[in-house]
Amino acid sequence: MSDVYVVGHKNPDTDAIVSAMAYAALRNAAGDREFKAARLDHISDETRRILNRFGVEAPVKLKDVRTQVSDIDFDTPTALAPTVTLDYAWKVMIENETTSIPVVNPDGTLYGTLTAGDIATYNLNTIEKPEVADLPLFNLLGVIEGHIVKDPSDMADRISGNIVIALPANENTLLFEGKDNIVICGDQPDMIKRALDHKVSCLILCNADFPEDLLKDTKELDTCIIQTPLDPLKVSKLVYQAAPIAGTCSHDNLVAFHLSDYLDDVKDVVLQSRFRSYPVLDDNDKVVGTLSRYHLLKPRRKKLVLVDHNESAQAVPGLEQAEILEIIDHHRLADIQTLQPIHVRNEPVGSTTTIVGEMYREKGVTPSPAMAGLMTCAILSDTVMFKSPTCTKLDTVMAERLSKIAGVTIEELGKVLFDAGTAEDRSAEQLIKSDFKEFHIAGQILGVSQIICVDSVKMLKRRREFLDTMETLKKKNGYDMIILMLTDVLIEGSYLLYLGPDETIRFAFSVDPKDNQVFLPGVMSRKKQIIPMLTALWG
């Protein structure tokens, strides 16, 4: 089961953050445990203050929702240590119906990859060079089901040498000679004696007992003697398979991907490489699986519920690669498109959180006191303490009902909100970005920020600082116009600082602007009193 992210718009305000948290909590309370509140970008000072007031953590931050390796149903074959035998690795491949297995270090990080092709190449090479080097004795005994009859005291735990099946070339000559040989022999006493006389490094007796007449001389022997119930032909093949996979697997110039890698980038690499399978690593570089080309064909899309917006310019980057399940909003319908029909709840109220509050009521779920407090704050913030023209009776009733559940008063929360809006220790850029939205209207790109305060005269003393910051943002983002609303709750109006044509402000609001500034009495809402006027002018 994959997470469903509930997320608001870029430069999220309190309503965007809280409506996401409240809706995720509602769905989880109703049994849909995969819903997770998320946010884009920073948390405003206002929002952080109310989160701290109710002791609640901020939602997780989403950078984008482009499809990543973590969204692929990649394979999870058994990862093997470099010390396991080729015999065991081959059996694992057969059992898992795979031709490639990651090889990992003791800490789980990538050592290399072993493919069926690697094993086949190794086996073919043994025809030309029938020998093993530094073969762990422990591995050999396991693979050939053997046990040691005689183990010289000075013998190491590894053996090396040419592999020889003991057959007489004629009556007097053997095909082996010297300690660099590992001799495989059946029930052939003469061959056994000759091998011992030549002091071979290792003698493997296949389905045969060590001759009784030679037992008395074993103390003098320097040969390791192993007994196995398997026949010589099978042993001659299995000896090579006792080698550790470390010497056979590929571990140079490996191509691997992390869970966080984007599928677009992965496809480019895969198309330019020759491998059939690629290791997948987590954030700690530990192997968690493998992916192949066919895994890239049908990835899972990230699932989203959009709250407090329905415009692509305000949405999370990579939205076109995600699956939108629902939209809950109180703004005009914009340009977001979906692949299939979805649930959309769009109501003309002052706050998206009000809509979510109604959904709690409809489902018969009571939010926790902390969540109810946050929801109250979100409604107060978006309706500017019920003074915005967007505010409806439902907003007022919902906020009052939620404040009672939270055990707080409207007045108390209002002070917390407006204190957050007039913080003097923040830069002009921080204040402007705390509640900033971008709009695309009739080919024009507009940026509008709103700062709600109780002393606009004091805020206007920073006028030059605000305009300089706005100029930087305008050039950086290519805005045709940028507006800052200094909304004063006490005088119930907004000062507009703007950069753009004077005629736009003059004709849109029927005023005479001066020095990039104008006061609009009664204007409290960006959504209902600023954007519609500009849309009508430019449209």
Do 501 and 481 contact (CB within 8 A), yes or no?
A: yes
Q: What are phi and psi of 85, to 5 degrees?
A: -80, 160
Contact 470, 477 (CB under 8 A): no
Which architecture does CATH list for 71-122+247-296?
Roll (3.10)
CB 368 within 8 A of CB 404: no
- Domain 4-67+302-421 fold: inorganic pyrophosphatase (n-terminal core) (3.90.1640)
Furthest CA-CA distance within the chain: 121
Residue 420 is predicted with a pLDDT of 46
Q: Where are the domains of the chain?
A: 4-67+302-421, 71-122+247-296, 145-241, 428-538
The domain 428-538 is classified under which CATH number: 3.30.70.20, 3.40.50.1000, 3.10.310.20, 3.90.25.10?
Answer: 3.10.310.20
* Cα distance between residue 243 and residue 249, in whole Å: 11
Tell me the residue ranges of DSSP E strands in 367-480: 436-441, 444-453
Cα–Cα distance list, 503 to 180, 330, 393, 535 (Å): 97, 30, 36, 14
Measured CA to CA, the distance from residue 530 to residue 481 in angstroms comes to 13
For residue 404, what is the enclosing H or E element? helix 393-406
Average pLDDT over residues 91-118: 93
Q: Distance between CA atoms of 247 and 86, rounded to whole angstroms?
A: 10
Structural Rg of the chain based on CA atoms: 37
Place of tokens 């809280």: 18
CA atoms within 13 A on the CB side of 222: 10
Cα distances from 393 to residues 285, 349, 397, in angstroms, run 55, 9, 6
Closest CA to 403 of 390, 389, 414: 414
Does the pLDDT of residue 224 top 90, yes or no? no
| % of the chain beyond a pLDDT of 90 | 66
Tokens read off for 311: 């415009």
Q: Report CA torsion sign: 142, 147, 150, 153.
A: positive
Q: Which CATH architecture group holds 145-241?
A: 3-Layer(aba) Sandwich (3.40)
pLDDT at position 114 over 80: yes
Binned at pLDDT 50, 70 and 90, residue 485 comes out as: very high
pLDDT in tens, 378-406: 999 999 999 888 999 999 999 999 999 99
1 pLDDT higher than 70: no
